[in-house]
Amino acid sequence: MDTPNKKDTQRGNKTVSAKSSAAADLRELFIDELKDIIYAERALVKALPKMANNASDPNLKAAIGEHVAVTEGQVDRLVQVFELLGESDRGKKCDAMEGLIMEGENILEETKPGPVRDAAIISASQKIEHYEIASYGTLVAFASLLGEDEVSELLKITLDEEKYADVKLTEAAYGSINLEALEEGEE
């Protein structure tokens, strides 16, 4: 019988039935998540230059600018992944990345150019990088589980690039920006 057990009902848990289009197996889930990340990367190619243009610190500007080029390469790598898997590279709207990008745009409206805005740009960018690190970490594991070793290798390259970008942002933050942001607040 389908009735949820008493404990689940008490806790307000609900059993969710899948949509007919839902992933039936791990490979389908893997493809679905790849479609999510290619959408996210394409959205970032458009959104990151605005972040770079609005940064004041030259190191931060350069780090984000450099990551735009890297992100373009990541889109190409994903297209290659879809080719290897014999699937279309059409993306699927990634709500999480849309939200993270929107947050980044909001902080630009709420801050004036300078160290505080730079600190906010670093914060928004690191949230984006951490989302990507989590996504690619999962994708590398799924590819390995599915025996797609070539795909796994390609995704691992991107995972390392995202980790590197995160380190660069941290360096920019601890280099001078956060300290200057603090001083600006005390003026």
- Tell me which residues touch Fe ion (CB under 5 A): 41, 71, 74, 132, 162, 165
Q: How far apart are CB 12 and Fe ion at their closest, in Å?
A: 37
Supply the minimum distance, in Å, between the C-beta of residue 142 and Fe ion: 17
| Closer residue to Fe ion in complex, CB, 80/184 | 80
Cα 173 to Cα 1, 47, 88, 123, 184: the distances in Å are 56, 20, 39, 9, 15
Q: Are 34 and 77 in contact (CB under 8 A)?
A: no
Instruction: Rank residues 115 and 152 by Cβ distance to Fe ion and give the closer one.
Output: 152
Q: How far is the CB of 5 from Fe ion (least distance, A)?
A: 42
C-alpha atoms less than 13 angstroms from C-alpha of 126 in its C-beta half-sphere: 15
State both tokens at 29: 């889930």
Query: Would you state the structure tokens that stand for residue 11, as one six-digit string?
Result: 């806790």
Q: How far is the CB of 145 from Fe ion (least distance, A)?
A: 22
Is 15 exposed, middle or buried (CB count within 10 Å of its CB: 0-12, 13-18, 19+)? exposed
